[in-house]
Amino acid sequence: MGRPAKASIDLNALRANYRLAQQVAPQSKSIAIVKANAYGHGCEACARALEPLVPAFGVACIEEALKLRAAGITKPILLLEGSFTADEVAIAAREDFWVMVENDQHVEQVRASHPAHPVQVWIKVDTGMHRLGMAPASLPAIYAQLKALPQVAGEIVVATHFSSADMLDDHSTISQMEVFSRACEGINAPRSMANSAALMGWPDARADWNRPGFMLYGATPFGRPHEVADQLRPVMTLSSGVIGLRKVAAGSAVGYARSWVASRPSIIATVAIGYGDGYPRHAPSGTPVLVNGQRAPLVGRVSMDMITVDVTDLPPVSLNDPVVLWGGELPVNEVASYAGTIGYELLTRMTGRVPLSYRGGDE
C-alpha cells in the first residue's frame, strides 16, 4: 500500500561488515561509526543490531548521541567533533559519551566543567588533514594538561584522521602516520588512526582503536577492486516501482527542459523516486537502474518525485514492476559516479520520505 519507494536495510549484512572489520584487525577495537543517521540507514536500528558486537559507537555531535541513548543504546559513544559548549562535557560524563578534544577551547571547556564523575577524553592531532585537531608539537603539553585535570578519566586516547587513505597510491597516508608516530613519542596512550579506508588498505594504520564507518554499510571507499573491500555486503537497497508507461515517437522529448530526445520509437517507464527522496538530481541520462533485475538507462531530468527510464530494449515491462536504484547488483558508488559525487553523499542524503524497512533484526 502507498508509494512504492522504500529502502530495505539488511542488518545481517551490517553485522557481517563489522565482523569483517574485526577480522582484518583482530588486535584492535573497532568503534562503529553511526553518524548522519548511520549513513542514512537509520541510527537507532543499526546501533541496536550492532550493540552486542561493538565496544563503542561514534557520532558527530551530542545531539546524535542523545538520540541513541533515547533509543536504549547503552554502549559508550564517541563525540567525533567534540563538545560545542562547556555544559556538554558534564552531559557527556553523565551519559558515558567520550569527548574528542581538538583545540584549546575544548581543553578550557573540560577545565571549566563540573561533571559528576570524570569524562573519557580523546585528543585529535592534525597530521595533515588540516581540518580539526591539535598541532603535533603541542600534543605533549595538551596531553599533560588533560592528564592532570580531575575532570578527565584516567586513560586518554590519541587520534588522528587521514585525508587520502582511500587513494592507495597516495603516500600522504604514510607521511601522516610518520607525523603521528613522532608526535606520540614519549606518550604512553592508546592510539586511533584508521577509518574504513585505512583499516582495509593500510595495515600500519590499524592501532588500538579503529573507526570504521562507510565500510559497515557495505560500500567500498576505493575506486578499484580490493581484496578486503570486495568482501563487503551492501546493506541498503533503494527501490521503487513503475507507475507509468508510454510509447514515445522518435524526436519526442522526455522530462523537464526537454534535455533528452528519443532517437527512435521508445518505451518510457516512469518510476516513483526523485531528488525529494534523495536520488541525485544531477544523475544524467544513461545512469543505470534495474527494472525487473535488468539494467536500463535513466533518461531526461531527475524531478522531485519521479524519474523516467528507457525500457525499450527490455522484455515487456508492466505497471508496478520493481525498480532498484542501488544495492546488490547495482552498487551505490556506480550510481554516484554517474552523478559526479560519491556513495557517501547518496547514502547520507536520504530524506525522511523514503521509509526504511529492516530485515535480519535477530541473530
Which residues are known to be catalytic?
35, 256
Residue pair 200/24 in contact by the 8 Å Cβ criterion: yes
Largest CA distance in the chain: 77
Q: Please report where in the chains the cell 531530468 appears, as a residue.
A: 301
Beta carbons of 79 and 66 less than 8 angstroms apart: no
User: Are the beta carbons of 99 and 87 closer than 8 angstroms?
Assistant: no
Rounded CA gap, 107 and 328, in Å?
45
Amino acid found at 26: P
CA 101 to chain centre: 22
- For 49, residues 6+ apart whose C-beta sits below 8 A from its C-beta are 11, 14, 15, 360, 361
Rounded Cα–Cα distance for residues 363 and 134 (Å): 42
For residue 82, count CB atoms less than 10 angstroms from its CB and return exposed for 0-12, middle for 13-18, buried for 19 or more.
buried
191-192 and 157-159 as β-strands: parallel, antiparallel, unpaired? parallel
Which contiguous run of DSSP H or E holds residue 40? helix 35-40
Written as nine digits, the cell of 339 is 552523478
User: Long-range contacts: 179-185, Cβ < 8 Å, 24+?
Assistant: 179/127, 179/128, 179/136, 180/125, 180/127, 180/136, 182/136, 183/125, 183/127, 183/136, 183/137, 183/139, 183/158, 184/125, 184/139, 184/158
Contact 9, 42 (CB under 8 A): yes
